[in-house]
Amino acid sequence: MSRISWNQYFMSQSHLLAMRSTCTRLAVGATIVRDKRIIAGGYNGSITGGVHCSDEGCYVIDNHCVRTIHAEMNALLQCAKFGVPTAGAEIYVTHFPCLQCCKAIIQAGIKTVYYATDYKNHPYAVELFKQADVKVEFVEFEKTPGQFDNEKNELIINLLNKLSESNIEDDVVQALRKKADKLLL
């Protein structure tokens, strides 16, 4: 029996975490690893006890949802909350980190960023990673059939969001959301 590589193992964890995301625009997961051990994980979603995008839609300002905390930040904050050092650790992220997460990753002392999907890769983030001597590596994520159907889930959620923006009655859209929630579990 052949085992998956460490990169595939940790990236799978990040994709699994992304399935907990409550953001309807993009589901992202992040796993922080030190010495081949997972020390924290995060996904993008609202503050604890807060309203979620999946409940009321995204709160968008300047084309950016301000309701959510990014997956990378949630993972780093989990380490801070429980006193787990991040210096010298690695982070596996389903998508290339945004500029703000890039800066937080650098400040946390993360030495390597692995990502599975290019997503608005900001040139200044790329420059900052180089400046801080943080290794950035693309990892082609190899999913098995039926595993992590985030793309299908995202499509369904996006279609429901478009329906809610149209003239269709709210109760019809909410009923469809409930059916989708059961399917997406």
Q: What angle do CA 54, 57, 61 make, to 5 degrees?
A: 130
Those residues whose C-beta lies under 8 Å from the C-beta of residue 51, and which sit 6 or more positions away, are: 67
Which H helix or E strand runs over 66? none
Cα-based angle 87, 8, 43 (whole degrees, multiple of 5):
60
Rounded Cα gap, residues 35 and 46, in angstroms: 30
Q: State the number of CA atoms in the 13 A half-sphere of 161 facing the CB.
A: 17
Say whether 72 is catalytic. Answer: yes
Token match 């399935």: residue?
19
- Confirm if 65 and 53 have CB atoms less than 8 A apart: yes
Q: Which residues form the catalytic set?
A: 72
